[in-house]
Amino acid sequence: MTENTEFREGLDELAAHYKKVIELLGEDTDREGLLKTPMRVAKAMQVLTRGYAMDAHKVLTDALFREDYSQMVIVKDIDFFSLCEHHMLPFYGKVHVAYIPNGYITGLSKIARVVDIFSHRLQVQERMTLQIRQCIEDTLKPMGVMVVVEAKHMCMQMRGVEKQNSITTTSEFSGAFNQAKTRQEFMNLISH
Q: Find the catalytic residue in 13, 85, 164, 179.
A: 85
Q: Find the catalytic residue in 46, 123, 125, 131.
A: 125
- How distant is the alpha carbon of residue 76 from its chain centre? 14
Instruction: Determine whether 86 is an active site residue.
Output: yes
Q: Find the catalytic residue in 123, 131, 137, 153.
A: 153
Instruction: Determine whether 125 is an active site residue.
Output: yes
Q: Find the catalytic residue in 87, 150, 157, 185.
A: 87
CB 87 within 8 A of CB 124: no
Instruction: Determine whether 87 is an active site residue.
Output: yes
Q: Is the dihedral angle over the CA atoms 32, 35, 38, 44 positive or is it negative? A: negative
Q: In 3D, which of 106, 104, 117 has the Cα closest to residue 69?
A: 104
Three-class SS state of 156:
helix
Cα–Cα distance for residue pair 62/45, rounded to 1 Å: 27
Instruction: Determine whether 96 is an active site residue.
Output: no
Instruction: Determine whether 135 is an active site residue.
Output: no
Q: Find the catalytic residue in 13, 67, 86, 164.
A: 86
Q: Find the catalytic residue in 84, 120, 123, 137.
A: 84
CB 75 within 8 A of CB 111: yes
Cα–Cα distance for residue pair 119/128, rounded to 1 Å: 7
Query: Which residues are annotated as catalytic?
Result: 84-87, 125, 153, 155
